[in-house]
Amino acid sequence: MGLAADLDYRITTPNPAQRGVRRAGSARVGSKLLARYLPAMDRTVARLSRGRTTAIEMLAGLPIIALTTTGRRTGTRRHTQLVAIPHEATLALLGTNFGGPSTPTWALNLEANPAATVAFRDREVEVVARAATEAERAQVLATAATIYVGYPKYLARISGRTVRIFVLEPCG
């Protein structure tokens, strides 16, 4: 078994409406809107559904994990909702920040303290994050492109920084 199986995390085939949302969200304007409004929408839908779904899962058919990291400056627990990429038996995370110019805070937090928690629906697992090797980066990026059309578009817009890719390993 592995982390993906432990969480019962699976990517499903999107319906036509969900494919349309994915295309719109990958455009420059769409990704800016998602970056600004999606976190609050996801938290609200997750709370109302008691953790059974999120806004992006309903709209785009992308399953969302809840990642809990420790703030590198404050030591405070920080929660972020992300699409995880199945990689072998585990999961990987891409720090694309919707194609924005800065590295997402969660990625900087993982670099400072790789111990984290991931939750998917009613399951939660303690993990340790590590930077993907060059071979793993290539595999994760290839898989990511098949899951969400936005990833290659985000990567094309990013310049001046390296996109962090983390592989999550369950503790114990």
Task: Report the share of the chain in percent with pLDDT over 90.
Answer: 70
Mean pLDDT for the chain overall: 92
- The greatest distance separating any two alpha carbons of the chain, rounded to the nearest whole angstrom, comes to 43
- Asked if 77 contacts 130 with a C-beta cutoff of 8 angstroms, the reply is no
pLDDT class of 1 with cuts at 50, 70, 90: low
pLDDT score at 82: 93
- pLDDT tens digits, one per residue of 133-166: 999 999 999 999 999 989 999 999 999 999 999 9
Q: Is domain 3-170 annotated with CATH 2.30.110.10? A: yes
What is d(CA 88, CA 65) in angstroms, rounded to the nearest whole number? 17
- pLDDT tens digits, one per residue of 46-55: 789 887 888 8
Cα torsion through 69, 72, 77, 79, rounded to 10 = -50
Task: Report the share of the chain in percent with pLDDT over 70.
Answer: 99
Closest CA to 80 of 170, 138, 166, 20: 166
- pLDDT tens digits, one per residue of 29-68: 888 888 888 888 878 887 898 878 888 898 899 999 999 9
What are the residue ranges spanned by the domains of the chain?
3-170
